[in-house]
Amino acid sequence: MTDKVEPTVENPQNFKSILESKTIWVNVLAIIVFIIQQRFGFVIDEAIQVEILGVINVLLRTITKDPVRWSK
């Protein structure tokens, strides 16, 4: 006899809009900065930029509480 594990259904109220995600906004901003720097010349070394963005993303992940809902 095998035990069936029922999938859990998360409460929709625990989700937040993608527009409320700090991580999404930081990454959108990073993309914009990368594009601007590519067009006008790099100010900071690319490897350092990636490291900085990685650290920021890890820090944001530690304070994340609710999952993001990608659609309505």
Confidence of residue 9 (pLDDT cuts 50, 70, 90): low
pTM (global) more than 0.75 = no
Give the integer Cα–Cα distance in Å for 54 and 2.
Answer: 43
Model confidence pLDDT, tens digit, residues 25-69: 999 999 998 899 889 887 888 889 889 999 999 999 888 877 877
Each domain of the chain, given as residue ranges in start order, spans 12-64
Cβ–Cβ under 8 Å, residues 67 and 15:
yes
Note the pLDDT of residue 13: 65
Please give the full DSSP string across 24-54, using - where no structure is assigned.
Answer: HHHHHHHHHHHHHHHHH--SS-HHHHHHHHH
Asked if residue 7 has pLDDT above 50, the reply is no
Give the integer Cα–Cα distance in Å for 53 and 59.
Answer: 10
Model confidence pLDDT, tens digit, residues 14-24: 788 888 888 88
Cβ–Cβ under 8 Å, residues 14 and 66:
yes
